[in-house]
Structure 1
Amino acid sequence: MATSHRVSHTSLAVAAFSTVVEWYDFTLYLYFSTVLARVFFGGGEAALVTTLMGFALAYLMRPVGAAVFGHIGDRHGRRPMLLISMAVMSLAMLLTALLPTYGQVGIAAAWLLFGLRCVMGFSVGGEYTGVIAYLLEGADPRRRGLIASLAAASSEVGALLAVGVAALTVSLTSEAQLASWGWRVPFLVGAALAGGVWFARQSMEESPDWLELHANEALHANPIRHAITRQRSALLRAFAISALGSITFYVGITYVPAFLETTGTLGEERALWLSTAAAVAVILVTPLVGLLADRFGRKPALVVIAVLSAVLPISLFTLMAGGTVNEALAGALVLALVAGGMSAVGAIACGEQFSEESRASGLGLGYTLATAVFGGLTPWMAQLLVERTGAPQVPGIMIAVVAVAALPVFVTMRETAPAHAA
């Protein structure tokens, strides 16, 4: 494909920074899980595990959404794909804010929440991967790593916003107010944010690569089949990249507040503020790693991060569980830096595995299948195993196992950065 046709800086900026919504919502659910356990599941010993299990099961809708939205993106354009997915997300968040509670309708409240989480899981199946495909095709090839890392950083802005709104809500409301109406505020903020992003996306240009395919009548009738039959190795590599990226983020960052509360290291409010510091660390490190991935290549960055993920998390989770507040902060920050680095390089490395004919479908399937397993399921599994074994190092072991499994894939994969590819 020709590299002279690129989208405007405005379109790139809208795409890169609009990932704030997806990560705001899903991060909010995890950071707010102890509150939601009381509001929708009535509290009690099993409520938190049930809340996290609902998150995990709803996450399994992401591959379904990836298949549907990937087809839209490859057949009808990246822009319609991103507009439709954001519209569905806006509606789902607004309806979540309006749900009745367990105290009002009993267990039906939990089922309604779960239903809307499934809708969210479906809609975000085409969100992040659609943005990465768009940025890859619209950015200067020499700066793809940096531009894609801005989308990852924007995701962390969403995470930071989520934890900040959650912490403020908990701080400024009494327990009774929080259970009655306070929990709704963060979801209303998310719905307003999503609506704003939807309007901003109206101004986006279409991907130049997709326009060229369309002009040449080279669009595949079944892009998902093309990805599965013609880009199978790319799917496996994207799965490995996303698996490590997902577990480092969801266990190494968003699960940490619940972990700290479960182990008695910090209370709910202080754990949320600690996560705010971790989110800031990720925002700062992500563009730096994106620049390094452009300068030295994707492969070296992936290998280094995989080694760090194999070596550090076990001791860090042990430190956070038995240490002081400062030690908990240090452990959370280091985990966040590793996860942020993986998000930065993993995004563009996944997208570059696929050719443009079925990029949205292939990227969507490879990325979201791994995220459904190693993102959605792992916070629930980590919480369950910590409770049953009493071993605080279990979440770190989970990260290390995935890192060791992914490392051979990273070592043997070809370099995809344009300046370093063979």
Structure 2
Amino acid sequence: MTQPSPDYAPDAEVTAIARDLIRIDTSNYGTSDGPGERKATEHVAALLDEVGIDVELYESEPRRTTLVARWEPEGVDRDAAPLLIHGHLDVVPANADDWSVDPFAGEVRDDCLWGRGAVDMKDFDAMVLSVVRARARAGVAPRRPIRLAFTADEEAGSGLGAQWLADHHPETVRDCTEAIGEVGGFSLTVRDDLRLYLVQTAEKGIAWLRLIADGRAGHGSFRNDDNAVTELAAAVARIGAHRWPNRITDSQRGFLDAVAEAFGIELDPEDAEETLARLGSIARMVGATMSNTVNPTMLEAGYKVNVIPGRATASIDGRFVPGGREELLATVDELIGDKVRAEVINDQPAVETEFSGALVEAMQTCLQAEDSGARAVPFLMSGGTDAKAWDRLGIRCFGFAPLRLPPDLDFAGMFHGVDERVPTASLEFGARVLDRFLTLA
């Protein structure tokens, strides 16, 4: 394998690339009203074309564009299965009035890059592009063939992006056996000489439900013992008040064991709330993975104050741990009662893989090379990613977007939050780790 020259710098472009991507508005409103990903995808295509990497663009709908590239330069082990490296290009919308900076200006302030997508997930997109471009220019091949996928629509469930690609063009990635993408690889500082880097090995499944209550319509001044609004409101209240029992998965147990060892404490997984509080800002993220969760999010009923409507509906966001889908649906059915029914409107599986193997060993080695206090640990994420699509094709998926973070940064709050930002030093760290990773993975 060709060795890089002394001036080889895989992190040199990462902040500039992330800045330029943030400046391309790819807000995903969950409808066809947004700008789409086409402009950003064409920008990524130009960056790869400049260093001789051919790409293919796929559109599920106008402007909803996904890019796939095959990178197999001279020097790769062609007998090894390709590694899929994936990132999405869409972002959730941002209300500029709420921000301290223009969310689409890509401003660098206080040693951080600010803007929508700085954390979710144009930071990782930029890390990958910076490393791949540096290697392509220098003729430094990865160990194995690489598939790059920059997808559309992840922020709305991937139906027009990774899920669509898996359904209509599975040949683009089917030969991959493993993948890395979001959300994972970020640090949790325990003490000056110890940082846990959380590698996502699992993510909760999704069960979005619509609750429907039918009753007797009538005048608002009449007595009505068959009021759809009353029945729905009672069902929603029961769901909101329900306390779900802990369900500890293999990934969660591995994380909890690592936390207990790092802090030198005895940890009862059935009563871990006090310990989780010591994790700082990520306690919310980890706490959401201890059990199934269901949250009411939308209500709709009526059209006039003096008319009792014949129907009322609610939407609820259900998330289940691996193996927890049937329990979630059965519990919701019990809570809503006989006069309300539930319809599934989005059903996506939980994903889990083992925290073991050569790829995991490479992650640990590369992290420690850049941070002597690094320790990689598995974790279960409460949200969903494109990994759900790749998992359907038999690909083992890991969340590994490495970032060494300041201990006081509210990283969990950056996801979909106001004033989203990432330290530029963290971006550069991530690029260097990924560069080493491509040599070993």
Is the shorter-chain TM-score for this pair beyond 0.5, marking a shared fold?
no
TM-score interval w.r.t. the shorter chain? under 0.3
Greater Cα radius of gyration, structure 1 or 2: 2
TM-score when normalising by structure 2: 0.26
Which structure: greater helix fraction?
Answer: 1
